Amino acid sequence: MGQDLKSIFTHQKPIIGMVHLRPLPGSPMYDKKNMCMERIIDTAVKEAQLLEEGGVDGLQIENIWDYPYVKGEDIGDETVAAMTAAAVNVKQNVKIPIGINCHLNGAEQALAIAVAVGARWIRVFEWVNAYVSHAGILEGVGGKLSRYRTALGARDDVLFLCDVNVKHGSHFIISDRTLAEQANDAVTEGAEALIVTGFETGIAPTPEKVREFSEHVDVPVFLGSGTTSENVQELLKYSDGAIVGSYFKEDNSWKKPVSLERTRRFMDEVWSIRNGKG
C-alpha cells in the first residue's frame, strides 16, 4: 500500500497543477534549435514556480507534447532520461510535492522516474481492464506495476492514482460493466486513488458521474479533467481533490503558458470550500 493523501498534502481536497513538458528528445515535435533540453527544463521550472505561487498543493509532471503517443512498452529510454532531468530540476525549485505521468500509460517508466527523483505519486491511465486509445488497445498494468513497486522498495513511497473510464478513448469493449463496477474493479485490484474524467482534455465529468464513483468506492476520488473556477465547487463536493491543467493556462488552453491570475482565482474558490463557505 502506498502513501495516503494526508502524508503527501498539507490541505484537504488537494489541487494538483500540471507541468506540461515541451516536446522531449525523440518525440516527433522535438525542436533542438528552439526548444532544447535546457529551455525545456527552464520553462518547466518557471511554470512550476508560478503554479506554486498561485497556491496549488502539488505538481504533476508529464510529457503531454510527445504526441502521437506510443504504448508504454514502446516508450524509449530517451523519454525516461529527459523526464527525469526535468523532474529533478522542478523538485529542487519548489516546496510542494510532485508526481509523474508518462504518456501513454507508461506506468513502469513513471514509477522508475518517481523513485529516482522522490516523486510521491504516479498517474496510471489503465490500471485494470482495457480500452482502445489513439495508439491502439491498452491493457491494465496494475499487476505488473504493483510487483515492480515492491521490487524497487517503494511500497510506502509512491501512491498509485488510477483512471477509470479514462478520457481520449473508447471503452466499448467493457461497456457491459457500469462505471461503478469498473471503479470497484480497480479498487479490488489495488488502485489506491481513482481519477474521474470527462471525454477529453478540458471537458469536465458530470456531477452525477463523480458522485457515482465516490459513492461506490472507499478510496479517494480525484477530478481529472475540465475543472474550472466556475464548476469546482459543484464537482469538488463529491470528490477528494483535482488534477488541473487547462484552466491554469491562458485562454483555458493546455498549450498556452501558465496564468498566475487564473490559478489564484481557482484556488480562491477551493479555499472557500475548505473554509466551509462554498
pLDDT in tens, 5-44: 999 999 999 999 999 999 999 999 999 999 999 999 999 9
Whether residue 130 is predicted with pLDDT greater than 90 in this model: the reply is: yes
pLDDT at residue 142, as a whole number:
97
Instruction: Flag whether pLDDT at 212 surpasses 90.
Output: no
What angle separates helix 37-54 from helix 77-92, to the nearest 10 degrees?
Answer: 40
Q: How far apart are CA 245 and CA 60, in angstroms?
A: 9
Q: Please report where in the chains the cell 507534447 appears, as a residue.
A: 65
Q: What is the pLDDT of residue 165?
A: 85
What is the structure's pLDDT at 1? 38
Confidence of residue 2 (pLDDT cuts 50, 70, 90): very low
Residue 123 has pLDDT above 80, yes or no: yes
**Quick one: cell of 166?**
479514462
Would the pLDDT of 173 be above 50? Answer: yes
- Average pLDDT over every residue of 245-271: 97
pLDDT for 202? 65
Ramachandran assignment for 55, one of left (phi > 0), alpha (psi -120 to 50 degrees), beta (any other): left
Higher-confidence residue of 202 and 168: namely 168
Mean pLDDT taken over the chain? 94
pLDDT of residue 197: 86
CA distance 150 to 141: 14
Write down the pLDDT at residue 179.
87
Angle CA 182–184–190, to nearest 5: 110
pLDDT range class, residue 209, cuts 50, 70, 90? confident
| Percent of the chain whose predicted confidence (pLDDT) is above 90 | 85
Q: Where does residue 211 rank: exposed (0-12), middle (13-18), buried (19+ CB within 10 A)?
A: middle
Confidence of residue 206 (pLDDT cuts 50, 70, 90): confident
Residues 241/11, Cβ–Cβ less than 8 Å: no
Whether the CB-CB separation of 261 and 250 falls below 8 Å is answered with: no
Proportion of the chain in helix, strand, coil states, percent, rounded to 5: 40, 15, 45
Q: Region 180-199: what's the mean pLDDT?
A: 91
pLDDT tier, 167 (very low <50, low <70, confident <90, very high otherwise): confident
pLDDT of residue 184: 93
C-alpha distances (whole Å) from 272 to each of 1, 12, 13, 278 are 32, 12, 12, 5
The number of residues in the chain equals: 278
Among residues 119, 121, 90, which one has the least CA distance to residue 195? Answer: 121
